[in-house]
Chains A and B, each alone.
Chain A
Amino acid sequence: MLSVSGLTMRFGGLKAVDELSFEARAGDITAVIGPNGAGKTTVFNCITGFYRPTVGTIVLTHPDGGTYPLQRMPGHRIASAARVARTFQNIRLFAGMTVLENLLVAQHNTLMAATGLGVLAVLGLGRYRAAEAAGVKKARHWLDAIGLTARADDPAGALPYGAQRRLEIARAMCIDPVLLCLDEPAAGLNPRESEELNQLLLRIRQEGCSLLLIEHDMGVVMRISDHIVVLDHGKKISDGTPAEVRADPTVIAAYLGEGEEDEVPA
């Protein structure tokens, strides 16, 4: 699905990511973990086109066989053509727009294609009306999934924090991604919200979208991920199933900590 090889990202003298290679398989939830400053978000920014890697390739293979060299594509094409969606560590919603508008903006390219270069739609002609109805229907589907249907007409900025996190995920899903990249989706959530998030992520996987997530909450990581990549100082120090990674002595030394097994819920 996603194949990262030899990825290096340099900021001046600093090597934030160093010769990183890993694979994320289709239909899996792949987690990237590591201590603060390990280069996790940098990897994400390279995959989603916000940074251009210094060296290395990132190749995405669609289920239909099409391949996309993400390291060479402009940022917006990674979302619109390669269908890689992402969320942000600090939530980036359109706060002054309603929940529904947020979800419709995410379908911009599909809706735009139905406006007949804008001219027809301005005149109220063409198939835009039908396209918008379909867009609202899709938004409705995700609103039901995240339990925010009743608040569809409220501004996104007025939602509680947990709901904003879920909305950001729903918005990303509205571009019909094949790969969804989540940057610390459980940060700041209480245990109940965190559990709801797990269910939402499992549901997204069930609908056929692969996931890549950065997370510090080991409860979320160990419970739902199929595959874990551990980074430290920009280098990969471990790669495998949750059980393998938890038993890996280098990971315990660098990140999980020794003799504190009870802090890591099974």
Chain B
Amino acid sequence: MFPASFEYHRVSSVKDALALLSQFGDEAKILAGGHSLLPMMKLRLAQPAHLVDIGAVHELAQIQEQGGRILIGGLATHHSVETSSIVKAKLPILAECAALIGDIQVRNRGTIGGSLAHADPAADYPAAALALEAEMTLENPGGKRKVKAADFFLDLLTTAVQAGEILTQVSFAALGAGTGGVYLKHRHPASGFATVGVAAVVTLKGTNFDKVRVGITGLGAKAFRASSVEKALAGKASDAIAAAASHAADGVDATSDTYASGEFRAELARVYTRRALEQAVARVKA
């Protein structure tokens, strides 16, 4: 359980981190909370020659509100998202999602940027980021670019973050009037990861759906938007939820492992999608 030897670099700015990334290329990894990277290094599944610790780049840990958007620095821990008064007031679904991640030790160290950039197929944040249509800011030596959540998760552990880039900020639109969101997960009893997790964000116009966004994690190799569920609900009233939720696993190659078969995961996705949608509607009406 000892990692292979590596060089440790502690930087105090994004600029310095980017310089080290371009210097060492493939050999360097960014260290944020270290709750995905370090376990893999201890088992020597990952053996980066250089670790670039961005823990001292304090401005990356900020959570702020600006022009109707909530801006969360990549280094914000799950605990700070969970307890932030801004997030609790404007994006309660995200605070709830953060509160369900792992255990208190993981939430104290793990970061939103680290979780999203690592793209574990069973991580919680990706479902919420998809349903909330988050926008990721990626910084590279040439400047910044923004990537929408829908274009961010490419495959197992694979995201739009290119070599030499750092995910520095995640931006969310605050939930407006008539909009409610819920994140529900079936928790893996040992790891705390989502066997399946569903984030549902709905906007109602009168009694009918105006906009529905469903993000699902844990089911396949990457988190995804359940567009067939969303389409089935367009313009409908809430009595259409049960039928629509039955499409939650459509077209997804569900993961099987020793804990949960693919069939079980697909069924969890359908049931949790229905429950999340029903609870999201109840929130708007409350």
B is bound to A: no
Q: Which residues of B contact A (CB under 8 A)?
A: none
